C-alpha cells in the first residue's frame, strides 16, 4: 500500500486492496478553468458532521478486523448481542464515516437505529440468525448511496445502467431526430417529452455519429416508452439493459490497431508483480502524446493508486490538470484505527512523515492534518479547475466496471481538450475514500466505509451513476467503433 498526500489529505487502501485517492466526481463535461465559488465551500463545510465532544467515541481497541473467511461469522447471535452490535455500529458510523452528515446525520442514522432495534424485537425467540441480522442492517441503511460503503458484504449503492435500442438509429438535423430507416420521419416526443432528452450519441460500424434511443436508470427491469412519430403515429418501444461483462487483461500493454496506438490497463495497484509494468505505463505516456491519435482502454479497470493516472496525464499532455472540488478527512481515533486495520490486512507499511526517519502509523498521519477549528476533521482542501490543451485525439474506452482510481483517470482526462469517452457509464465510487474496516463484535459482520469525503463544486454525489461517456456504445464493441471513429475524424469524413 502506498500512502501519500493528495492536496492536503492522505490516501489509504480499501479493504479489498485498492488504493483510494480523493476523486472529484463530475458530470459529462469538465468545468472551465476558474476559481471556486465561495458559497460552494460554505455548502461543503456544512456537510461535515460537527463534533462537540468525544466521550462516547468507540475505544480503538474495540475496532478489530480480520479478513472474512469460511466460518468466521457465527450462524446465530442472541438478541442482546445483536443490540450491542447495533450500538457499536452507530457509534462507529458517527465517528468513522465521512458521509454521516451528508446522508442526514443524527436524525437519519438514529431513525435507522431505532428501526433496526424494532426489527430485532419483532423476531420471535431469544436469538437472531446472522443472515437475518445482516439483511435488517442492509435494509435500514438503504438510504446510503456510496460505492465504498458496505455492510455484511453488500455495497450500499444503487447502480444506474444504460437502457437503450442501438438498432433504432437517428440522425440529428436542425434540432430534429430523423430515423435512418425512414428518413422522412422524425421523432416528435418520447413519453410526452422532448425526444432530445432520450437520444444518446453513438458511433456506427463505419465510425459515423448517430443517435440511439436510451436512458440511464436504476430500474431492475427493461423500460417501455411511448414514442410519437411526425406522421401522427405512435408505438411502445422497449429499452433493454446494456450489460457490461468484466474484461480481463494486463496491468499494462501497448498494442496497435490499424496503426493506432492502443494503451490497455486494467489495474493500477502497485504490487511486487505489477509495479514494473505500471512504471512503463507512465514512461510511455510522453511519446504517445506526440501521436495523431491514441486509444486508452480503461474498461474494467479496478483502480489502485491515483499516482499513475496523475503522472500519465501529466506526461501525455505536458501539463498538470485538476478538476474543481473539495475534500476533507476525518482525523478521529475511530477513523485512524479503521484505516490502520486496512493497512494491516494488506501487510502494508506507511511511509515516513515528511523528512522524519522510519515509518508512521495512521494516527500520526491524521494528527498532522488536524484542523484546530473543526474538531475531528482535517483542514478542508479545495482545488480549482485547471484544464490543458491537447492536440492528440484521445479516445478513452470505459464500462461499468471502471472503479475508484480508474475513475480518477477518467476525471483527470476530462480536463484535457480533444478527448472523447466511448462506452457506457462507469461504476461510480468517488464520494468517499480512504476506506477503513472493522467487525461488529458479536456477529462478526464486516463494516467498510470511507473516512474522506470528496465532492465537486456542485456538491453532488455521483456514486452509482459514475462518469458518462460522450458516445454510448456497447462495451464489447467500443474498441472497434473507436478505431472507426478516429479514422473518420482523421480523414475529414466525420
Alpha-carbon gap, residue 190 to 225, rounded angstroms? 7
C-alpha cell, 36: 471556486
Question: What string of DSSP letters covers 188-251?
Answer: EEETTB-GGGGEEEEE-TTS-EEEEEEEEE--SS-EEEEEEETTS-EEEEEEEE---PPPP--S
Looking at residue 484, its pLDDT comes to 98
Contact assessment for residue 262 and residue 297, using Cβ atoms and an 8 Å cutoff: yes
Per-residue pLDDT of the chain (494 residues; tens, 9 = 90+): 222 233 333 333 333 333 333 333 333 333 345 678 889 999 999 999 999 999 999 999 999 998 877 668 899 999 999 999 999 999 999 999 999 999 999 999 999 999 999 999 999 999 999 999 999 999 999 999 999 999 999 999 999 999 999 999 999 999 999 999 999 999 999 999 999 999 999 999 999 999 999 999 999 999 999 999 999 999 999 999 998 899 999 999 999 999 999 999 999 988 889 999 999 999 999 999 999 999 999 999 998 888 999 999 999 999 999 989 999 999 999 999 999 998 788 665 554 444 444 445 788 888 889 999 999 999 999 999 999 999 999 999 999 999 988 999 999 999 999 999 999 999 999 999 889 999 999 999 999 999 999 999 999 999 999 999 999 999 999 999 999 999 999 998 77
pLDDT at res. 54:
96
Task: For 264-298, give one letter per residue: b (16+ CB within 10 A) or e.
Answer: bbbbbbbeeebeeebeebbebbeebbeeebbbbbb
State how far the Cα of 1 lies from the Cα of 267, in Å rounded to an integer.
14
- Strand duo 446-456 + 381-383: pairing: unpaired
Distances (CA, A) of 172 to 108, 201, 329, 469: 46, 10, 46, 19
One-letter-per-residue 3-state SS of 434-469? EEEEEECCCCCCEEEEEEEEEEECCCCCCCCCCCCC
For residues 375 and 398, give the distance between their C-alpha atoms in angstroms, rounded to a whole number.
40
> 29 has which bridge partners?
none
Half-sphere exposure of 486 (CA within 13 A, CB side): 29
CA separation for the pair 109, 104 (Å, rounded): 7
In this prediction, residue 10 carries a pLDDT of 34
- Name the helix (H) or strand (E) containing 167: strand 161-173
- Residue-by-residue DSSP string for 305-318: -THHHHHHHHHHHS
Task: Report which of 426, 332, 416, 431 is spatially closest to residue 374, judged by C-alpha positions.
Answer: 332
Amino acid at each position: 500500500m502506498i500512502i501519500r498526500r493528495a492536496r492536503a489529505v492522505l490516501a489509504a487502501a480499501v479493504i479489498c486492496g485498492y488504493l483510494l485517492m480523493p476523486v472529484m466526481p463530475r458530470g459529462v463535461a469538465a468545468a472551465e478553468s476558474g476559481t471556486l465559488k465561495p458559497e460552494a465551500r460554505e455548502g461543503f463545510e456544512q456537510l461535515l458532521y460537527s463534533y462537540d465532544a468525544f466521550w462516547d467515541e468507540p475505544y480503538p481497541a474495540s475496532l478489530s478486523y480480520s479478513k472474512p473467511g469460511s466460518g468466521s461469522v457465527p450462524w446465530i447471535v442472541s438478541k442482546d448481542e445483536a443490540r450491542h452490535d447495533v450500538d457499536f455500529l452507530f457509534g462507529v458510523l458517527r465517528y468513522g464515516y465521512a458521509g454521516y452528515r451528508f446522508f442526514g446525520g443524527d436524525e437519519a442514522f438514529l431513525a435507522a437505529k431505532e428501526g433496526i432495534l424494532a426489527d430485532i424485537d419483532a423476531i420471535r425467540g431469544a436469538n437472531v440468525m446472522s443472515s437475518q441480522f445482516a439483511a435488517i442492517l442492509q435494509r435500514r441503511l438503504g438510504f446510503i448511496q456510496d460505492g465504498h460503503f458496505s455492510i455484511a458484504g453488500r455495497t450500499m449503492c444503487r447502480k444506474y445502467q444504460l437502457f437503450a435500442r442501438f438498432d433504432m438509429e437517428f440522425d440529428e438535423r436542425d434540432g430534429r431526430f430523423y430515423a435512418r430507416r425512414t428518413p422522412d420521419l422524425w421523432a416528435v416526443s418520447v413519453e410526452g417529452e422532448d425526444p432530445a432528452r432520450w437520444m444518446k450519441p453513438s458511433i456506427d460500424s463505419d465510425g459515423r455519429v448517430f443517435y440511439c434511443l436510451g436512458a440511464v436508470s436504476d430500474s431492475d427491469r427493461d423500460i417501455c416508452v411511448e414514442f410519437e412519430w411526425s406522421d401522427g403515429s405512435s408505438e411502445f418501444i422497449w429499452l433493454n439493459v446494456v450489460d457490461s461483462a468484466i474484461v480481463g487483461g494486463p496491468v499494462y500493454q501497448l498494442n496497435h490497431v490499424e496503426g493506432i496506438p492502443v494503451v490497455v490497463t486494467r489495474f493500477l495497484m502497485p504490487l511486487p508483480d505489477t509495479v514494473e509494468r505500471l512504471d512503463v505505463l507512465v514512461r510511455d505516456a510522453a511519446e504517445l502524446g506526440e501521436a495523431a491519435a491514441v486509444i486508452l482502454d480503461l474498461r474494467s479497470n479496478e483502480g489502485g493508486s491515483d499516482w499513475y493516472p496523475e503522472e500519465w496525464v501529466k506526461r501525455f499532455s505536458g501539463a498538470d490538470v485538476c478538476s474543481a472540488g473539495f475534500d476533507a478527512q476525518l482525523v478521529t481515533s475511530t477513523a485512524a484505527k479503521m484505516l490502520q486495520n486496512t493497512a494491516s490486512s494488506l501487510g502494508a507499511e506507511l511511509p515516513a512523515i515528511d523528512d522524519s526517519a522510519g515509518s508512521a502509523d495512521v494516527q500520526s498521519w491524521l494528527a498532522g492534518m488536524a484542523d484546530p477549528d473543526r474538531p475531528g476533521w482535517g483542514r478542508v482542501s479545495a482545488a480549482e479547475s485547471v484544464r490543458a490543451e491537447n492536440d492528440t485525439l484521445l479516445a478513452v474506452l470505459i464500462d461499468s466496471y471502471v472503479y475508484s482510481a480508474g475513475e480518477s483517470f477518467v476525471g483527470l482526462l476530462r480536463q484535457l481538450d480533444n478527448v472523447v469517452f466511448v462506452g457506457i457509464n462507469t461504476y461510480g465510487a468517488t464520494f468517499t475514500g480512504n476506506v477503513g474496516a472493522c467487525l461488529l463484535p458479536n456477529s462478526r459482520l464486516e463494516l467498510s466505509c470511507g473516512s474522506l469525503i470528496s465532492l465537486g463544486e456542485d456538491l453532488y454525489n455521483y456514486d452509482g451513476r459514475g462518469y458518462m461517456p460522450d458516445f454510448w456504445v456497447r462495451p464489447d464493441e467500443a474498441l472497434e467503433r473507436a478505431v472507426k471513429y478516429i479514422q473518420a475524424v482523421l480523414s475529414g469524413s466525420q
